[in-house]
Amino acid sequence: MLNVKRVDHISMAAPAWKPQADRLEHLLGFKFLHSWEGGANSDFDGSVSQVRNTGIEFEVISPNGPNSFVSKYLTQNGGGGLHHITVEVYDIHEAAAELERLGITPFGGIQDDGMWNLTYIHPKDSGGILWQLFVPHRNPPEVDRNAGGGVVDLQRVDHVSMAVPDREAQLAWQQRVFGGDVEGRWEDEQSGYLGGIMTFPGSKLKFEFIQPTRPDSFVQKFIDAKRPGMHHICCEVASVEKAAEALKANGIEPFGGIIDNGWKKHTFIHPKDSGGVLFQLFEERA
């Protein structure tokens, strides 16, 4: 098992980082921190924003040339979408060695980009997520990280949800590689999927795994159209009704309307409205 420190950020790809970062700050309150331009040794530009009350950042990367891997991703994905998750570890060489012991080849070997020593776990080894592992050369400068909630009054990001063909296999992989505890399992017969959620060491962010139970399930349709991978990001808001009203006031129709299943009230921001990511907005019940 890897000795991980924390989840650092979730990354998405977009045709241009600036309008996407602005959109996420407006809708969800993701506070812009800094940006960069890709140099000779990097084929992408990007920005990083702080997420409210979750201890993580959100990154937007965009291609700075037609041959960029980000450009290829956008073409293959049909537009913007979730790209990778970045985790800080205590020792990158030990992390790479532990991956080898677990039967996983560190994707790209150990690299030095001038700011971090880093390596990757390829989606084919993880079940669908590109994981970036890193150790920084130095601590980042202190900045104002007091993120707001945007028009939906976001309180926190609760979890990242991943569509997988086998829930139990994915939960087992996650525990074997990263650790964490399984907090719950359930079946949604109406929607046609099995679910499971687990913690991640050192992080407030959790991970959910959803498995289709029939061919017409939205989970199966996602896997068929794309592949196993990150499906949506689940965010707590102060009020689903008020969030829905605020979205409508900004010209966005809440996707699926407001759903109340008795234990959770929720709605969605469709990827076409968010810039490529399906965001689930829920209201915490006592």
Q: Please report the pLDDT score of residue 119 as a whole number.
A: 98
Q: Which two tokens stand for residue 141?
A: 């400068």
Dihedral, 17, 21, 23, 27 alpha carbons, nearest 10:
150
Q: Band of the pLDDT at 286, cuts 50, 70, 90?
A: low
CATH superfamily, domain at 4-136: 2,3-Dihydroxybiphenyl 1,2-Dioxygenase, domain 1 (3.10.180.10)
Q: What is the DSSP string of 147-172?
A: ---TTTTEEEEEEEEEE-S-HHHHHH
Q: Is the pLDDT of residue 211 over 70?
A: yes
Backbone angles phi, psi at 252, to 5 degrees: -115, 125
Q: Please report the pLDDT score of residue 261 as a whole number.
A: 82
Answer yes or no: are the C-beta atoms of 127 and 170 closer than 8 Å: yes
Answer yes or no: are the C-beta atoms of 229 and 164 closer than 8 Å: no
Taking residues 267-281, report their average pLDDT: 98
List 212's β-bridge partners, or say none: 193
Averaged pLDDT of the chain: 95
Q: Please report the pLDDT score of residue 285 as a whole number.
A: 73
> CA 75, CA 15: separation in Å to the nearest integer?
10
Residues in the chain: 286
List 265's β-bridge partners, or say none: 260, 283
Q: Band of the pLDDT at 263, cuts 50, 70, 90?
A: confident
- pLDDT tens by residue, 29-58: 999 999 998 776 678 899 999 999 999 999
Backbone angles phi, psi at 35, to 5 degrees: -135, 170
Taking residues 230-240, report their average pLDDT: 98
- pLDDT tens by residue, 177-194: 999 999 999 999 999 999
Q: Select from 3.10.180.10, 3.40.47.10, 2.60.40.1080, 3.30.70.3270 the CATH code of 154-283.
A: 3.10.180.10
Domain ranges of the chain: 4-136, 154-283
Collapse the DSSP code of 25 into the 3-class scheme (helix H, G, I; strand E, B; otherwise coil) and give the result.
helix
What percent of the chain has pLDDT above 70? 99
Q: Please report the pLDDT score of residue 142 as a whole number.
A: 86
Residue with tokens 């990778």: 84
Strands 154-163, 229-237: pairing is antiparallel
Q: Nearest-CA neighbor of 159 among 205, 210, 97, 190?
A: 205
- pLDDT tens by residue, 77-126: 889 999 999 999 999 999 999 999 999 999 999 999 888 999 999 999 99
Q: Please report the pLDDT score of residue 66 as a whole number.
A: 81
Q: Band of the pLDDT at 157, cuts 50, 70, 90?
A: very high
Q: Please report the pLDDT score of residue 126 as a whole number.
A: 98
Q: Which two tokens stand for residue 216?
A: 């017409």
- pLDDT tens by residue, 10-31: 999 999 999 999 999 999 999 9
Residues 6+ apart with CB under 8 A from 191: 217, 218
Amino acid at the residue 86: T
Q: Is the pLDDT of residue 199 over 80?
A: yes
Residues 6+ apart with CB under 8 A from 153: 237, 238, 239, 242, 243, 246
| Sign of the dihedral defined by the CA atoms of residues 31, 36, 42, 45, in that order | positive
**Do 4-136 and 154-283 fold alike per CATH?**
yes
Question: How far from 92 is each of 22, 61, 97, 137, CA to CA, in Å?
Answer: 33, 23, 9, 11
